[in-house]
Amino acid sequence: MPEAEASVRDRELFSPPSDVRGMTKLDRTAFKKTVPIPVLKARKEVVSRLMRALRRVALQRPGIKRVIEDPKDEDSRLIMLDPYRMLTSDSFEKPELSALKELDVNPQLSQYNLELTYENFKSEEILRAVLPEGQDVTSGFSRVGHIAHLNLRDHQLPFKHLIGQVMVDKNPGITSAVNKTSNIDNTYRNFQMEVLCGEENMLTKVRENNYTYEFDFSKVYWNPRLSTEHGRITELLNPGDVLFDVFAGVGPFAIPAARKNCTVFANDLNPESHRWLLHNCKLNKVDQKVKVFNMDGKDFLQGPVREELMLRLGLSTEGKPSLHIVMNLPAKAIEFLSVFRSLLDGQPCSTERLPIVHCYCFSKDSDPAKDARQRAEAVLGVCLEASSSVHLVRNVAPNKEMLCITFQIPTATLYRDQALGLQNDQEPPLKRQKTGEPFSGEPQSASDS
């Protein structure tokens, strides 16, 4: 039977009682229900051979044993069969009947009253039975340590405490359920959240790509959906490289990079992220390899990053490590690119191993990759068409993508005073659209925006 058909069918027979509809306070006892199930009696010693022959017709329901003791005969077992396939003993097919004959089992069926309770229903079945008919049911959440992080819709809000409780009951290891109460639009990108069920304690511990992070989820940013992206950037690094993480959070780029023997400079403006970043560096035994800062990203780039670049770009080329700058603040990072314009003006001009930037952004454009590139170009004042790549990180919402644009900062951007005299293979500055018209991305204060 196709999976979709099976699930519609299961919804009828195996759905909770109809009178739970509209329940806002969870009453587990209201989920009791008796379902008549056809059963076949067999001697216990033939059961395992019999089960192989009855694969097609045996009851398949997670959490329910298909073979139970026979209350009237301790030497026998009852095999539960699919009530939709097995109406009478005539429903057996020939090979099944031959197996019964061979094992000396009477094909006659009897009925067993299977009692289903709250424990036997899946979270989706419980919520579908409780919430208004025909409306969207959520059983999905992001898991952050012991916390289930939900993003409930308006029609689900009257049921929020029940939904939270069901998530805690049905997911081993989850002891707290929270609902996002606002979009992440504050500076530190942490959520406003309401605890729906369980512990108020938001101090949690997660594992990502074999590293451990501890933090207070109510005070810092953490998104389990970024684990692949954190791993992808780490893969690009070689031992000895230098990573500048401008918006480091609690360390998911910085710590794996340091463990790969890179030198890391990690920064976050949120004092709480800074505190947990330090803690996580110690926890993962990389505190000697990560220098941690608590500054605005613009000041970090113009201060410690600039100093380090001056030092490292002056070294001889041989064996020189690659320099990477990660900027994961997708709502704003592109604006911060303006800091690179003339950042090294007045310094001896280097064209070798200039820093590679991985800058994140969101796009709602029909061509998100082109949109990301053009926005970066506008801020930097150079063409990146042939010298950048754009990676699609994830779909954030319908028609909203998160992307990462990667490019090497052109000499013409870093050293603008000398760029005009350069005869090299760097990308040319963007042409002004009309004479005298400024670039749309003339230098601006990133932190003012």
The residue ranges that bind ligand SAM (CB under 6 A) are: 187-189, 221, 223, 226, 247-249, 252-253, 267-270, 273, 296-297, 328-329, 447
367 is in an annotated binding site: no
Looking up tokens 């405490």, which residue turns up?
A: 161
Nearer to ligand SAM, 114 or 329 (CB): 329
**Minimum CB–partner distance for residue 280 and ligand SAM (Å):** 11
Closest CB to ligand SAM among 116 and 226? 226
Calpha distance 430→440 (Å, rounded):
11
In the bound complex, what is the minimum distance in angstroms from residue 194's beta carbon to ligand SAM?
21
Considering the complex, state which of residue 157 and residue 184 has its C-beta at the smaller distance from ligand SAM. 184
Can you tell me the distance from the alpha carbon of 126 to that of 166, in angstroms, rounded to the nearest whole number?
8
How far apart (Å, rounded) are the C-alpha atoms in residues 130 and 53? 38
Radius of gyration over alpha carbons of the chain, in Å? 31
146 is in an annotated binding site: no
Residues 6 or more apart from 82 whose CB is under 8 A from it?
57, 58, 59, 60
Q: From residue 123, how far is each of 53, 153, 218, 383 by CA, in Å?
A: 32, 17, 25, 52
Please identify, using beta-carbon distances, which residue of 164 and 355 lies nearer to ligand SAM. 355
Are 197 and 161 in contact by the 8 Å Cβ rule? The answer is: yes
Q: Tell me what percent of the chain is helix, strand and coil, each rounded to the nearest 5.
A: 35, 25, 40
243: Cβ–Cβ under 8 A, 6 or more apart, which residues?
237, 253, 254, 257, 262, 263, 264, 265, 266, 324, 325, 326
Considering beta carbons, is residue 108 or 210 the nearer one to ligand SAM?
Answer: 210
- Distance from C-alpha of 168 to C-alpha of 148, rounded to nearest angstrom: 8
- Smallest distance from the beta carbon of 389 to ligand SAM, in angstroms? 19
Min CB(336)–ligand SAM separation in Å:
8
Decide whether 33 or 274 has the Cβ nearer to ligand SAM.
274
Q: Is 414 annotated as a binding-site member? A: no
Angle between helices 123-130 and 160-170 (to 10 degrees): 160
Query: Cα separation of 22 and 79, whole Å?
Result: 36
Smallest separation, CB 308 to ligand SAM (Å): 17
Look at residues 421, 402, 298 and name the one whose alpha carbon lies nearest to residue 349: 421
For the bound state, the minimum distance from the C-beta of residue 273 to ligand SAM, rounded and expressed in Å, comes to: 4
> What is the DSSP annotation of 293-317?
E-S-HHHHIIIIIHHHHHHHHTS-S
User: Which residue lies nearer to ligand SAM by CB, 253 or 340?
Assistant: 253
Between vectors from CA 60 to CA 54 and to CA 64, what angle results, nearest 5°? Answer: 115
- Smaller CB distance to ligand SAM: residue 83 or 231? 231
Does 268 carry a binding-site annotation? yes
Three-state SS at 261: coil
**Any known ligand binding at 296?**
yes
27 appears as a binding residue in the annotation: no
User: CB of 331: closest distance to ligand SAM in angstroms?
Assistant: 8
What is d(CA 402, CA 421) in angstroms, rounded to the nearest whole number? Answer: 37
Q: CB nearest ligand SAM: which residue?
A: 249
Min dist CB 213 to ligand SAM, Å, is: 9
- Which residues are annotated as part of the binding site? 230, 268-269, 296-297, 328
> What are the binding residues for S-adenosyl-L-methionine?
230, 268-269, 296-297, 328
